[in-house]
Amino acid sequence: MDETRAPDPVGLCFAHLSDPHLTTLRGVHWQQLLNKRVLGYLSWLHRRRDEHRSEVLDALLRDLQQVHPEHIVVTGDLTHIGLPSEFTQARAWLERLGSAERVTVVPGNHDAYIRTPWSATFAQWEPYMVSDDRAGTAQQPVFPSLRVRNGVALIGLSSATASAPFFATGSLGLEQRQRLSGILQETGAQGLFRVVLLHHPPRVEDEKWRKRLTDGNDLCSILGRDGAELVLHGHSHRPIESAIPWGERTIPVFGIPSASAIGHKPGRRAQYYLYTVARAGDSWSLDVAVRGYRLDSDDFALQHEYHRSLPVISSTSS
Ligand SMILES: [Fe+2]
Ligand SMILES: [Fe+2]
């Protein structure tokens, strides 16, 4: 019997969802609401708890079980005000979503609402955030993270920083940007399909000033120099399609609505995107399927599809 096996075809089907804001603040005590958390609690009480609904998330989980992507990425804002008890709720939800091997998380600004010890908060999500070679360790910094799945490099960034009241800004910082540049160069030279994941839109013009990524221009410069095949983000709670110039090419950038939004405002109802990446000779084939929540039938269904073809960049090509 011939024991030589053909190599696995390069490619991956993965889902992107964001901003589930899945926690409830019912039962939270006033003593837990120091500083900016009071404002966040009032926002949840009067607005957010009507918009972010558990029945939408239940429908999302049902749909994901049927579609069964090979991997799921979650780009932040799992909580409302970043309380340790919310991190515990979110960890339980992540376990329903899938194993840490199959689910990749980057944090959002709501998860870092005020400065809180890592051990009480993000440590609970660490298996879902760390790089492949850091699994089982608790070393910091965690970001940028790098997970490689079947020719696709999932590169996670943290833009989650505590900001002043009425601000929802984020930033990466110099050290994270420098490490990102090295990772993009290495994974690009390996000919991998590089997907950059972060919470805030990278382009400052895609978001209000008080909610922007403060070093977004620096990030776009790095991406424009070192390249990437795809950038995915959340934060804006609406669909955003944009692009970042990269030499003579452009990098597609997709932002998506909240995964739990019932959609009181037009264009804000929950969606998630399904990406299918495949290698076809010297090109990457990228299929994008948008699946959205339907209020009448309480389920998710296909709404749009896109197809892109992108050149493969590696050390053997310019
Ligand atoms: Fe959000
Ligand atoms: Fe956000």
Judged by its nearest atom, the ligand closest to the C-alpha of residue 201 is 2
Quote the tokens at residue 299. 């389920």
Q: How far is CA 103 from CA 69, 137, 194, in A?
A: 10, 17, 17
The total of other beta-carbon atoms located within 10 Å of residue 70's CB is 14
Closest CA to 107 of 219, 237, 216, 199: 199
Q: What is the whole-number distance in angstroms between the Cα of residue 109 and the centre of ligand 1?
A: 8
pLDDT for position 181: 98
Q: What is the whole-number distance in angstroms between the Cα of residue 167 and the centre of ligand 1?
A: 13
Q: What is the CATH classification number for the domain harbouring 169?
A: 3.60.21.10
pLDDT for position 24: 86
Q: What is the whole-number distance in angstroms between the Cα of residue 80 and the centre of ligand 2?
A: 9
Q: What is the whole-number distance in angstroms between the Cα of residue 19 and the centre of ligand 2?
A: 7
Q: What is the whole-number distance in angstroms between the Cα of residue 252 and the centre of ligand 2?
A: 21
Q: What is the whole-number distance in angstroms between the Cα of residue 169 and the centre of ligand 2?
A: 8
Q: What is the whole-number distance in angstroms between the Cα of residue 65 and the centre of ligand 1?
A: 24
Domain range for 174 is 11-311
pLDDT at 281 over 70: yes
pLDDT for position 1: 41
d(CA 239, CA 48): 19
The total of other beta-carbon atoms located within 10 Å of residue 186's CB is 14
Average pLDDT over residues 268-287: 93
Model-level pTM? 0.93
Residue with tokens 């929540």: 293
Asked if the structure places residue 99 within a domain, the reply is yes
pLDDT for position 26: 82
pLDDT at 8 over 60: no
- Is the Cβ–Cβ distance between 229 and 284 less than 8 Å? yes
Asked if the structure places residue 3 within a domain, the reply is no
pLDDT for position 49: 82
Q: Using 50, 70 and 90 to split pLDDT, how confident is the model at 169?
A: very high
Asked if the structure places residue 4 within a domain, the reply is no
Average pLDDT over residues 313-317: 51
Q: What is the whole-number distance in angstroms between the Cα of residue 275 and the centre of ligand 2?
A: 22
Q: What is the whole-number distance in angstroms between the Cα of residue 2 and the centre of ligand 2?
A: 53
Q: Using 50, 70 and 90 to split pLDDT, how confident is the model at 124?
A: very high
Q: What is the whole-number distance in angstroms between the Cα of residue 144 and the centre of ligand 2?
A: 18
Q: What is the whole-number distance in angstroms between the Cα of residue 218 and the centre of ligand 1?
A: 23
pLDDT for position 317: 41
pLDDT for position 131: 95
pLDDT for position 316: 40
Asked if the structure places residue 318 within a domain, the reply is no
Asked if the structure places residue 317 within a domain, the reply is no
Asked if the structure places residue 179 within a domain, the reply is yes
Q: What is the whole-number distance in angstroms between the Cα of residue 7 and the centre of ligand 1?
A: 40
Average pLDDT over residues 282-310: 94
Kind of pairing, strands 11-17 and 271-280? antiparallel
Model confidence over 26-76: pLDDT tens digits? 877 777 777 778 788 788 777 888 888 999 999 999 999 999 999 999 999
d(CA 291, CA 59): 12
Model confidence over 86-112: pLDDT tens digits? 999 999 999 999 999 999 999 999 999
pLDDT for position 225: 97
16's CB contacts (< 8 A; 6+ apart) are: 72, 73, 75, 232, 254, 256, 272, 273, 274, 275
Question: How buried is 273 (Cβ within 10 angstroms: 0-12 exposed, 13-18 middle, 19+ buried)?
Answer: buried
Average pLDDT over residues 117-128: 94
Q: What is the whole-number distance in angstroms between the Cα of residue 107 and the centre of ligand 2?
A: 9
Judged by its nearest atom, the ligand closest to the C-alpha of residue 213 is 2
Asked if the structure places residue 175 within a domain, the reply is yes
Q: Using 50, 70 and 90 to split pLDDT, how confident is the model at 18?
A: very high
What's the total number of domains in the chain? Answer: 1
Asked if the structure places residue 280 within a domain, the reply is yes
pLDDT for position 134: 76
